[in-house]
């Protein structure tokens, strides 16, 4: 017994002189900010982040910023600080003209799992890590890799190093390297950049060797791996945060396609409205899946529900395995009672007036079922009807609507050199002979008004439209005209609008 006691004392004395270990338990953290998971192999972890220092006098261009919007683990939108106390880091907003004066930052050297369009294991966890590191900090600086503000292949995101200072007087820490060091990301040209060879690449290799986070075999607590949850579109839209990051199954009609998404909608008898959601199918969908997602098909759709600041409510991560047609996670075309696939269904294009769209509130009722266990361990289900007050426009988000007799009072055309260069925002009244009189450039018209007698306007936003000759449609085609318009309900800066992506969806009445 004395032999073991002496051995324990020796171990305790040795611990007093050992170099402090930066590693912690899986998912734990320490003062250096190093977090990890997985097996560590007994090796001490190097904190490369603390070895890397921000040189404010280097040749790179830098800008002090504040967070505008969190997107995912390796993408954040920032606003420039125009009154920064940091000398020479006070760029004019025109510097970032490609994104309207704010900065869409794609982090250099790191690629975290997806958590917005597609949803991947560890994606939400990596996104949460970035959000936590950049929330309630004293200062954030973005830095280019060289002497220029460089953009990525989209032409609309700046490739940047992200530095944050937790408290005034602290050293700035590099978030790109910190993500790699903690195992939250994969390689993304990790070696071929400013801090690659000495910091980013060693941080990445250390995370791999120690099987941290994305390199571990651990379960991601933020990634749902259970059976699909069957819901109505109304239930999903009203309770989206309850089902975010979970696999869901909903049914509805594919109404239209924009970019890499289609839109699904379904009628709700209680409210008399359609509820809808965007469905992101990815950049290289297989032919089976694209056939299923054809406009007009009634589908039973299985995927991951998300609700992000940039994209709003949507479903992604769809699949169809032709070798396993009974796979419970397949998306498929619904069949009628005779076994025929239900195709050629029509979008609703529900006729909507401007006052309801912009000012009316509705209440949707949803039955919520809660599963618990009693004292004997038996499964107990309890149900309650929960009521959700919604703005009309938000209730019909992502559904097809039609508005008639809109008078276009003014317009704005986007000119940013990106994919939206030429898109138009039309500000419209709705003509109403019983409404209030307004003056538009010397022309008096009567328009729809709210209950307080104030004229109501809405925005009709187009994508970049082309005429039959391939020319970009200009705003002069619409300004001062009365139009009918139909499209998908969208929003910008939290305000609902009608988005039109086909020129044929407009009718010019005069």
Give residue 268's pLDDT band: very low, low, confident or very high (50, 70, 90): very high
308 and 440 belong to one structural domain: no
Does residue 462 sit within a domain?
yes
55 and 193 belong to one structural domain: yes
79 and 201 belong to one structural domain: yes
Instruction: Indicate if the pLDDT at residue 36 is higher than 70.
Output: no
Give residue 92's pLDDT band: very low, low, confident or very high (50, 70, 90): low
Does residue 32 sit within a domain?
no
For residues 308-318, average pLDDT: 86
For residues 80-94, average pLDDT: 67
Does residue 7 sit within a domain?
no
Does residue 354 sit within a domain?
no
Give residue 91's pLDDT band: very low, low, confident or very high (50, 70, 90): low
Q: For residue 32, give the 3-state DSSP assignment.
A: coil
145 and 58 belong to one structural domain: yes
Which of these ranges, 86-95, 323-332, 342-351, has the smallest mean pLDDT? 86-95
What CATH number does residue 305 fall under?
2.40.50.140
180 and 234 belong to one structural domain: no
For residues 379-401, average pLDDT: 93
Which comes out higher in pLDDT, residue 203 or 494?
Answer: 203
Look at residue 37 in the predicted model and tell me its pLDDT.
Answer: 40
Residue by residue, DSSP assigns 366-398 as EEEEEEEE-TTS-EEEEEEEEEEEEEHHHHTTT
502 CB contacts (<8 Å, ≥6 apart)?
465, 487
Does residue 395 sit within a domain?
no
For residues 489-499, average pLDDT: 93
For residues 145-172, average pLDDT: 93
Contact assessment for residue 133 and residue 80, using Cβ atoms and an 8 Å cutoff = no
197 and 241 belong to one structural domain: no
How many separate domains does the chain show?
Answer: 3
Does residue 374 sit within a domain?
no
Residues 183 and 202: their CA atoms lie apart, in Å, by 12
Instruction: Indicate if the pLDDT at residue 24 is higher than 60.
Output: no
What CATH number does residue 427 fall under?
2.40.50
83 and 208 belong to one structural domain: yes
HSE, CB side, 13 Å, CA atoms: give it for residue 339. Answer: 0
Look at residue 222 in the predicted model and tell me its pLDDT.
Answer: 85
Structure-block tokens of residue 467:
């005429």
Does residue 372 sit within a domain?
no
Residues 152 and 434: their CA atoms lie apart, in Å, by 52
Domain range for 293:
229-348
* CB < 8 Å & 24+ apart, contacts of 259-262: 260/117, 261/314, 262/293, 262/295
118 and 151 belong to one structural domain: yes
For residues 319-324, average pLDDT: 88
Instruction: Indicate if the pLDDT at residue 178 is higher than 70.
Output: yes
162 and 264 belong to one structural domain: no
Q: For residue 11, give the 3-state DSSP assignment.
A: helix
For residues 46-63, average pLDDT: 94
Instruction: Indicate if the pLDDT at residue 3 is higher than 90.
Output: no
What CATH number does residue 133 fall under?
2.40.50.90
For residues 320-341, average pLDDT: 92
Q: Show which of 286, 319, 348 is a domain's final residue.
A: 348
Does residue 297 sit within a domain?
yes
Mean pLDDT, all residues of the chain = 87
Helices H, strands E: what count in the chain?
Answer: 10, 25
159 and 59 belong to one structural domain: yes
Look at residue 87 in the predicted model and tell me its pLDDT.
Answer: 56
Whole-model pTM above 0.85? no
Q: Show which of 192, 215, 238 is a domain's final residue.
A: 215
101-124 tens-digit pLDDT: 789 999 999 999 988 777 889 999
415 and 475 belong to one structural domain: yes
- Buried-state track 322-331, b at ≥16 Cβ within 10 A, e below 16: eeeeeeebbb
186 and 247 belong to one structural domain: no
Q: Among 207, 183, 205, which Cα is nearest to 113's? A: 183
């Amino acid at each position: 017994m004395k032999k073991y006691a002496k051995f324990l004392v020796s171990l305790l004395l040795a611990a007093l002189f050992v170099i402090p270990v930066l590693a912690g338990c899986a998912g734990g953290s320490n003062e250096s900010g190093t977090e990890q998971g997985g097996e560590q192999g007994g090796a001490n972890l190097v904190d490369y982040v603390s070895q890397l220092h921000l040189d404010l006098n280097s040749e790179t261009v830098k800008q002090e910023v504040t967070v505008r919007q969190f997107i995912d683990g390796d993408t954040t939108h920032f606003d420039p600080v125009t009154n920064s106390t940091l000398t020479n880091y006070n760029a004019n907003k025109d510097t970032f003209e490609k994104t309207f004066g704010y900065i869409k930052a794609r982090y250099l050297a790191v690629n975290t799992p997806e958590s917005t369009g597609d949803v991947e294991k560890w994606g939400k966890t990596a996104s949460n890590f970035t959000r936590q590191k950049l929330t309630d900090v004293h200062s954030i600086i973005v830095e280019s890799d060289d002497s220029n503000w460089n953009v990525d292949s989209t032409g609309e995101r700046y490739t940047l190093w992200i530095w944050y200072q937790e408290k005034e007087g602290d050293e700035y820490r590099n978030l790109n390297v910190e993500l790699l060091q903690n195992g939250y990301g994969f390689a993304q040209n990790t070696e071929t950049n400013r801090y690659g060879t000495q910091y980013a690449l060693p941080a990445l290799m250390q995370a791999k060797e120690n099987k941290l986070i994305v390199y571990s075999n651990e379960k991601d607590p933020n990634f749902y791996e259970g059976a699909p949850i069957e819901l109505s579109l109304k239930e999903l839209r009203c309770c989206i945060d309850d089902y975010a990051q979970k696999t869901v199954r909903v049914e509805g009609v594919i109404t239209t396609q924009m970019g890499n998404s289609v839109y699904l909608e379904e009628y709700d008898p209680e409210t008399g409205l359609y509820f809808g959601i965007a469905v992101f199918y990815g950049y290289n969908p297989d032919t089976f899946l694209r056939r299923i997602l054809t406009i007009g098909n009634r589908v039973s759709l299985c995927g991951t529900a998300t609700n992000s600041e940039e994209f709003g409510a949507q479903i992604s991560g769809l699949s169809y395995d032709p070798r396993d047609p009974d796979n419970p996670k397949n998306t498929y075309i619904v069949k009628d009672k005779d076994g025929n696939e239900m195709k050629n269904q029509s979008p609703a294009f529900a006729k909507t007036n401007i006052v309801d769209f912009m000012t009316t509130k509705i209440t949707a009722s949803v039955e919520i079922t809660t599963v618990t266990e009693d004292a004997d361990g038996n499964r107990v289900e309890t149900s309650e009807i929960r009521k959700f007050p919604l703005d009309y426009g938000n209730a019909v988000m992502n559904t097809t609507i039609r508005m008639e007799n809109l008078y276009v009072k003014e317009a704005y055309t986007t000119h940013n050199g990106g994919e939206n260069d030429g898109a138009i925002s039309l500000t419209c009244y709705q003509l109403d002979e019983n409404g209030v009189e307004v003056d538009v450039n010397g022309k008096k018209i009567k328009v729809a008004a709210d209950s307080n007698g104030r004229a109501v306007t809405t925005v009709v936003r187009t994508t970049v439209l082309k005429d039959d000759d391939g020319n970009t449609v200009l705003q002069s085609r619409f300004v001062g005209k009365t139009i009918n318009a139909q499209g998908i309900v969208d929003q910008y800066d939290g305000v609902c609008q009608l988005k039109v992506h086909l020129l044929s969806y407009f009718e010019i009445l005069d």
